[in-house]
Amino acid sequence: MDDTKLPTEEELKTRLTPEQYRVLREKGTEAPGTGKYLHEESDGTYTCVVCRNPLFASTAKFDSGTGWPSFDDALPGAVVENKDDALGMSRVEITCGKCGSHLGHVFNDGPTKTGKRYCLNSVCLDLDSK
């Protein structure tokens, strides 16, 4: 994909799986415990599946016990935080800083020194291994 041009919604509907489209573009959530990166331990950089934007270093990943891949820090400028009051909850949604796709949520209850827990949907990610 050309890095300067983001795909259209129609292109994404044909390129992404129905589950990826539902989560990334319609702000869905994958079922806990089902994501392919939940127990991944390889070194590399997690990127946005839509636009290849680098999001998280594998060194920031930790087991939160929540059923979703969790990270304690995003790469600089990689994600945007948005207030999310949907479903009767007050949360902070994170979207890709390049294409605006929904990735998950960030919470201030992480066990590491950052105090953050970026809770991600695996279907939103690719892992570029070192």
Classified as helix, coil or strand, 8 is coil
Classified as helix, coil or strand, 123 is helix
The residues, any chain, with a CB within 8 Å of residue 10's CB and separated by 6 or more, are none
CA atoms within 13 A on the CB side of 57: 6
Query: Which residue among the candidates 51, 96, 99, 119 is catalytic per the annotation?
Result: 119
Are the beta carbons of 94 and 104 closer than 8 angstroms?
yes
Instruction: Name the token pair of 26.
Output: 């319609």
C-alpha span between 112 and 125 (Å, rounded): 22
Say whether 119 is catalytic: yes
Catalytic residues: 119
